[in-house]
Amino acid sequence: MAPERARSRRTRGELVAATVACLVERGYGQLSTRAVAERAGLPVSQIHYHFGGKEGLLLAVLDQQNAQLLDRQRAMYGTQLPLWKRWAQACDYLEEDLASGYVRVLQELIAVGWSDTAVADEVGRQLRGWVQLLTEVADEAAEVLRFDALTPQHVATLVGCLFLGAEEVELLGLGAPLQAIDALRALGELLRRVEEGS
């Protein structure tokens, strides 16, 4: 790789990492390109040069994080483990993603998308990738679970909404009274019983 390309890639990576850190610490409402640039130790002009501005930077952050996590999830769901074990792993990943800040970034950008159609379109594209993966898993599971009234896409959409809702509950600090992650894990226990025929 040419030195200029390597430097450009490194600069983009530093700005993305700084943006994630700022979003996790401050939220979107207090996010500024100046704060990101300071955190990265770079001039603000680098954000505009590499990303075109704040929106482009945020979309790059979402794209990078989402791609990594979708690949992780695809590998996990591609295993031959029983569905209930893969569900339990997905719950573990949810807790990891909450701790890493990814969930905060995603939820912040969902909120931005309510008033910014470009962000909404990109967030929607990212979420459709998750629904597509979950549809493949639901299609595989349809024989065992026999959800005749629902298509695999219906099941995937509902599962995606369950996890998105659990993320929101946790970010709002309502995890203890609502026990969203515990409820997701309990659903995994139900899957185990169905799969094992008990």
pLDDT above 90 (res 168):
yes
pTM for the full predicted model: 0.84
Taking the domains of the chain in order of start, what are their residue ranges?
Answer: 1-52, 62-195
pLDDT value, residue 19: 92
Cα(194)–Cα(198) distance, integer angstroms: 6
Q: What tokens does 181 get?
A: 């992650």
**33-84 pLDDT, tens per residue?**
999 999 999 999 999 999 999 989 988 988 888 899 999 999 999 898 999 9
Q: Which fold has domain 62-195?
A: Tetracycline Repressor; domain 2 (1.10.357)
**Shared fold status for 1-52 and 62-195:** no
Q: Which fold has domain 1-52?
A: Arc Repressor Mutant, subunit A (1.10.10)
What lies within 8 Å, CB to CB, of 166 at 6+ separation is 94, 180, 181, 183, 184
Q: Which residue type occupies 114?
A: W
Picking from 116, 101, 98, 94, the residue whose alpha carbon sits closest to that of residue 183 is 94
